[in-house]
Amino acid sequence: MLLYAGIDEAGYGPMLGPLCIGCSVFSIEEHTPGAGAPDLWERLDHAICRGRRDHGRRIAIDDSKKLKGSSKSGPHPLHHLERGVLSFLATTDSGPDWLEGLSDERVFSKLGVTVPDHPWYEGATELPLGEDPALLRITTGRLRRAMLEAGVECRSLSCELIDADEFNQQVARTGNKASLNFEAILRIIDGIREAHPGDEVHVVVDRQGGRTGYRSDLQQAWSNHAIQVVDEGPGLCRYRLTPPGGPTWSLSFTQAGEDRHLPIALASMTAKFCRELLMLRMNTWFIEAQPGLRPTAGYVQDARRYLDDIAPVIESRSIERSKLVRNC
Q: What value does the mean pLDDT of the chain take? A: 93
Domain-located, residue 291: no
Give CA–CA dist 94/284, Å, rounded.
Answer: 33
pLDDT of residue 228: 96
Share of the chain above pLDDT 70, in %: 97
Domain-located, residue 18: yes
**In this structure, are 136 and 155 located in the same domain?**
yes
* Cα–Cα–Cα angle for 70, 119, 299, rounded to 5 degrees: 35
Tens digits of residue pLDDT in 294-320: 999 999 999 999 999 999 999 999 999
pLDDT of residue 32: 73
User: Which CATH number characterizes residue 92's domain?
Assistant: 3.30.420
- Identify which of 325, 215, 284, 261 has the alpha carbon closest to the alpha carbon of residue 62: 261
pLDDT of residue 198: 81
Is the model's pTM score more than 0.75?
yes
Tens digits of residue pLDDT in 7-42: 999 999 999 999 999 999 999 998 776 667 899 999
- Identify which of 247, 248, 253 has the alpha carbon closest to the alpha carbon of residue 231: 253
**In this structure, are 187 and 217 located in the same domain?**
no
Is residue 283 over pLDDT 70?
A: yes
pLDDT of residue 234: 85
Share of the chain above pLDDT 90, in %: 78
pLDDT of residue 1: 84
How many of the other CB atoms lie within 10 Å of CB of 40? 24
pLDDT of residue 44: 97
pLDDT of residue 96: 59
Domain that holds residue 268: 2-203+261-280
**In this structure, are 243 and 142 located in the same domain?**
no
pLDDT of residue 101: 87
Dihedral sign from CA coordinates of 67, 69, 75, 76 = positive
Count: domains in the chain: 2
Asked whether the beta carbons of 62 and 51 are under 8 A apart, the reply is yes
Determine the 3-state secondary structure of 206 from DSSP. strand
Give CA–CA dist 287/58, Å, rounded.
Answer: 36
pLDDT of residue 265: 97
**In this structure, are 142 and 247 located in the same domain?**
no
Give CA–CA dist 166/181, Å, rounded.
Answer: 12
How far does the chain reach from its first CA to its final CA, in angstroms? 43
The DSSP secondary structure of 210-226, one letter per residue, reads T----HHHHHHHTTTSE
* pLDDT category of residue 95 using cuts at 50, 70 and 90: low
Domain-located, residue 328: no
**In this structure, are 86 and 198 located in the same domain?**
yes
